[in-house]
Chain A
Amino acid sequence: MKVTRRQFLKISAAGLGSSSIAALGFSAAEAQSDVRAFKLARSTETINTCPYCSVSCGLIMHSMGDKAKNNQMSIFHIEGDPDHPVNRGTLCPKGAGLVDFVHSPDRLKYPEYRAPGSSEWKRISWDEALSRVAWLMKDDRDKNFIARNAAGATVNRWTTTSFLAASASSNETGWLTHKVVRSTGMLGFDNQARV
């Protein structure tokens, strides 16, 4: 922009003049202001349990959209559930940051397999993964199952495999997991069944 000497003086005078007038109390702007728009006003609330530790705090997950057919919901905010008896709305630093856990680029979304000695992870289907786990468990159990101890008493132990189950499951899921795992004779087992 090219400004002549005369224009420069005019601009300066106008600027100084108008700011002086404003300073004397003839401000054009009304003394108004606004807070940030409340971002949860029409979000969809879903109740869930924090996935981290066995305290199992109650959560409210807020998703974009109102469950309309054509809307793909996405969680954008998570806070504690004030009606949950465990945490009554509070959350620890891990729980308070759950929304970043949900959308983490490093989040595991499908089964992957790394062959022994390989450094490559290969994506496999759920069917493939579950079958493989089942076969490995069965082969190991067939080989190492202890039906009787040295004294000849029936013990039905399977000590060479252990089982780590979910943390945030309900009583019913916990009961089922317990029954399935124990019925195989497995001893090493953590299910956080206290939740």
Chain B
Amino acid sequence: MALQSLDITRRSATTTRPPSQRRTPEVAKLIDVSKCIGCKACQVACMEWNDTRDAVGTNQGVLDNPPDLTENSWTVMRYAEVETGRGLEWLIRKDGCMHCTDPGCLKACPAPGAIVQYSNGIVDFQEEHCIGCGYCITGCPFNIPRLSKKDSKVYKCTLCSDRVAAGLEPACVKTCPTGAIVFGTKEDMKHHAAGRIADLRERGFAGAGLYDPPGVDGTHVMYVLHHADRPELYNGLRKDPSIGAMVGLWKGAAKPLASLALALAAVGAFFHYVIKGPNEVPKEIEKEFEDEKRS
């Protein structure tokens, strides 16, 4: 497993380069929303594989269960009933980490090595390095990571990095009874999506298309949407997601400036020490203070 360390392309809050950059096939998970029946087998398989179990919640009056992602539910089905030109449509979207090529979480993370990106495209959290600050939650354009109250660490979908490293598909992909979730190289997934989109267009979904947002340089979890022109129909899927301006400024432009300021401060302190020497307190003044304290 140690060789896995050579497969890293990016690591949070780290200025040293990864030891090597091995080339592994770029993988992707494709979620065909038009094929999903909302059975939640993926949710169960995810928990089963990752050995997480969520608390039994309460009925919210809708099928969404649990109602939101949690530190134990890394994927949830979001159900939307919307009126479109075709009448009432029931749009079911499997929500979870999108594994962005340009991950906002990784950029925002201040803990070295708490978030890594493997060369196959998977963005993974390394909980032993996580400091629980929650910056990744702010940095994520899709609002995915969740902070655990139990151990104050952040959790999200790993795209089953352990399974993929062993040559298997993610657990949700394997279990999907309708074949709505498929997995392969990103290239193959785009090809598969093209076939599905052509089929959907033939069936009258003129706006059918692939969701692979360029604002984050594409994702390694992509959707086939029947209304790709209006992704917000699918429970508020963002039309053009990008990393927040503050995260970009703070971790982009401000960072070299801060490093420069630090270096200048260090150099200044060194020269101050050489020229002026340490700040000595005369014996009399020290005695005066001590006497004052005693009295």
Q: Do A and B come from one complex?
A: yes
Residues of A in contact with B (beta carbons under 8 Å apart): 20, 22-25, 27, 29-41, 77-80, 82, 87, 89-97, 99-100
B285 within 8 A of A: no
Besides the contacts A33-B126, A92-B39, A99-B48, what 10 more A-B pairs have beta carbons closer than 8 Å?
Answer: A27-B15, A35-B4, A36-B162, A79-B174, A90-B177, A91-B177, A93-B43, A96-B41, A96-B45, A100-B48
- CB-defined A-B contacts under 8 Å, sample of 27: A23-B15, A23-B258, A24-B263, A29-B16, A30-B16, A30-B19, A31-B5, A31-B16, A31-B17, A32-B113, A33-B5, A33-B8, A33-B113, A34-B126, A35-B1, A38-B163, A38-B166, A77-B49, A79-B48, A90-B176, A90-B179, A92-B39, A92-B177, A93-B39, A93-B41, A94-B44, A96-B45
**Which 9 residue pairs across A and B have the least CB separation, nearest first?**
A32-B5, A25-B15, A96-B44, A96-B45, A36-B162, A38-B166, A35-B161, A33-B116, A93-B41
Q: Mark B1-28, 1 if CB is under 8 A from A, else 0.
A: 1101100100100111111000000000
Distance (whole angstroms) from the CB of B134 to the closest CB of chain A: 19
The residues in B between 147 and 173 inclusive whose CB is less than 8 angstroms from any CB of A are 158, 161-163, 165-166, 171
B133 within 8 A of A: no
Verify A93–B4 contact, CB threshold 8 A: no
Verify B263–A27 contact, CB threshold 8 A: no
Verify A80–B8 contact, CB threshold 8 A: no
Given the complex, which residues of A lie within 8 Å of B41, measured CB to CB?
90-93, 95-96
Chain B residue total in the interface (Cβ 8 A): 45
Verify B4–A96 contact, CB threshold 8 A: no
Q: How far is the CA of A102 from the CA of B4 in the complex (A)?
A: 34
Main secondary structure of the interface of A (DSSP, over half): loop
Verify A31–B19 contact, CB threshold 8 A: yes
Q: How far is the CA of A89 from the CA of B4 in the complex (A)?
A: 27
B246 within 8 A of A: no
Distance (whole angstroms) from the CB of A88 to the closest CB of chain B: 9
Instruction: List the A residue with the shortest CB-CB distance to B178.
Output: A90
The residues in B between 35 and 69 inclusive whose CB is less than 8 angstroms from any CB of A are 39-41, 43-45, 47-49, 53
Verify A29–B14 contact, CB threshold 8 A: yes
Distance (whole angstroms) from the CB of A185 to the closest CB of chain B: 40
Q: Beyond A33-B124, A79-B45, A90-B177, is A27–B14 a contact (Cβ under 8 Å)?
A: yes
Verify A31–B113 contact, CB threshold 8 A: yes
B259 within 8 A of A: yes
Distance (whole angstroms) from the CB of A24 to the closest CB of chain B: 6
Verify A25–B16 contact, CB threshold 8 A: yes
Given the complex, which residues of B lie within 8 Å of A31, measured CB to CB?
5, 8, 11, 14, 16-19, 113
Given the complex, which residues of B lie within 8 Å of A20, measured CB to CB?
262, 266
Given the complex, which residues of A lie within 8 Å of B8, measured CB to CB?
31-33
Q: Beyond A32-B8, A35-B162, is A24–B259 a contact (Cβ under 8 Å)?
A: yes
Q: How far is the CA of A91 from the CA of B172 in the complex (A)?
A: 10
Q: How far is the CA of A36 from the CA of B161 in the complex (A)?
A: 7
Verify B15–A90 contact, CB threshold 8 A: no
B184 within 8 A of A: no
Instruction: List the A residue with the shortest CB-CB distance to B8.
Output: A33
